[in-house]
Amino acid sequence: MPKSVNRSAAAALLVLSLAVSGCSLLPREEAELKPPLVKPATENYRTAEVAEGTVRKEVGGTGAFESLRTDRAQLSGQAGRLEKIEVQAGDSVQAGDVLARLLVDGLDLQVKEQELAAERAAYALKQLPSSDKEGRRLAGLQLDIEQLKYERLKEQLDHTVIRAKLSGVVTFADSLQEGDLVAPYQTLAVVSDPSKLRLAMGIDSGADLGGVKLGSPAEVKIEDKTYAAKVVQTPDSAPQTPNKALADKYASTLYLSVQGLPESAGIGTQASVLIITEQRSHTLVIPKSGLRTYQGRTFVRLLEDGKRLREADVEAGISSSTEVEILKGLKEGQVIVLQ
């Protein structure tokens, strides 16, 4: 009996021990994790300060120097056939030098024959006595006729030799060959005076030339050096000319006079041009990328205290390619946000 009681007590202790140990084998609930602390990102803005400065509106382009004085070697009168063009582009010539010759086609012989006819008429007049008034009158008329014929033929012959009217450089020579037909007033060569230069700046049709007028100041850059210049001819101020080619050129060209040209500048020298159409100094200026427009508003975004944004309506003035004038709405030193 005592052994049985001991076995029962031992079994009870074993069950209790397993129950207690079983509880310790169950997983414990983990504590809830807190979210990590994240600092808000700081937004970076491209900014600029409102400053006092100078802003100007410009018209830019490129041009080439050409002579103010040119002579176009042309055939006047009737058409003819070319014998030879005596010069090439780049040649230096003096006034009176032969530029081109036309075939005379026996015209020189006709001139000599008519010269002889005029001298015979003069001789016949001299042979008449002073008392023969009617005979002398008729002989005098005949002399006038023969002399007039001679002068006209001589003029035609002279026109077959085309000479330079001024000293300078040949800037154009046609490539016609012997025997080619030359029309009246066809240009065979051009002589230009290299001592009298102006800058010709070509403009596209429909280009905005608002503000460009006679006397507009300009800056001309030649070989990295800048020279002062001014506009001396616009399409509106160009002289009238019956020459269609020249009229077309005037309609698409601005001409400028340049001060203090270097000796290296000559006919054909290239230059970059900035014509100043409007300029204001001691005015408030901001970068053009800081100006905004939306639904009729013109405004900027101001950065205040380095973190707060505020919109401000402004009134803009003249603008360049990079800057704009502010007439109202801003003060010097304010910071604007760029786009």
CATH of the domain at 84: 2.40.50.100
Per mean pLDDT, which range of 18-22, 202-206, 274-278 is the poorest?
18-22
Alpha helices in 227-327 (DSSP H): 244-251
Question: CA-to-CA distance for 320 and 53, rounded, in angstroms?
Answer: 13
Instruction: Give the percent of the chain with pLDDT over 70.
Output: 86
Euclidean distance between the first and the last CA atom of the chain, given in angstroms as a whole number: 101
203 and 64 in a common domain = yes
Phi/psi-derived region of residue 199, left when phi > 0, alpha when psi is between -120 and 50, beta in every other case? beta
Task: Please give the pLDDT value at position 105.
Answer: 80
At 197, is the secondary structure helix, strand, or coil? strand
The CATH code of the domain that includes 309 is 2.40.420.20
Task: Please give the pLDDT value at position 15.
Answer: 45
Q: Minimal CA–CA distance to 232: which of 281, 197, 261?
A: 197
Name the domain count of the chain: 4
At 1, the pLDDT band (50, 70, 90 cuts) reads very low
245 and 109 in a common domain = no
At 122, is the secondary structure helix, strand, or coil? helix
205 and 119 in a common domain = no
DSSP code at position 239: P
93 and 147 in a common domain = no
Token look-up 């401000």 returns 312
Residue 246 CA to its chain's centroid (Å): 18
DSSP code at position 180: -
229 and 203 in a common domain = yes
pTM of the model: 0.64
pLDDT in tens, 21-79: 544 444 555 556 666 655 555 578 899 999 999 999 989 899 999 999 999 998 877 78
316 and 184 in a common domain = no
233 and 133 in a common domain = no
DSSP state string for 24-63: HHSPPPPPPPPPPP-PPPPPP--EEE-EEEEEEEEEEEEE
| Mean of per-residue pLDDT scores for the chain | 87
Indicate whether 3 belongs to any domain: no
Indicate whether 122 belongs to any domain: yes
pLDDT in tens, 264-309: 899 999 999 999 999 999 999 999 999 999 999 999 999 998 889 9
83 and 179 in a common domain = yes
Residue 94 has pLDDT above 90, yes or no: yes
Burial class of residue 177 (count of CB atoms within 10 Å of its CB; 0-12, 13-18, 19+)? exposed
Burial class of residue 229 (count of CB atoms within 10 Å of its CB; 0-12, 13-18, 19+)? buried
Indicate whether 83 belongs to any domain: yes
222 and 84 in a common domain = no
**Contact partners, residue 155, CB within 8 Å, separation at least 6:** none
Backbone angles phi, psi at 79, to 5 degrees: -65, 160
Indicate whether 184 belongs to any domain: yes
Domain that holds residue 165: 77-102+160-192
Task: Please give the pLDDT value at position 122.
Answer: 95
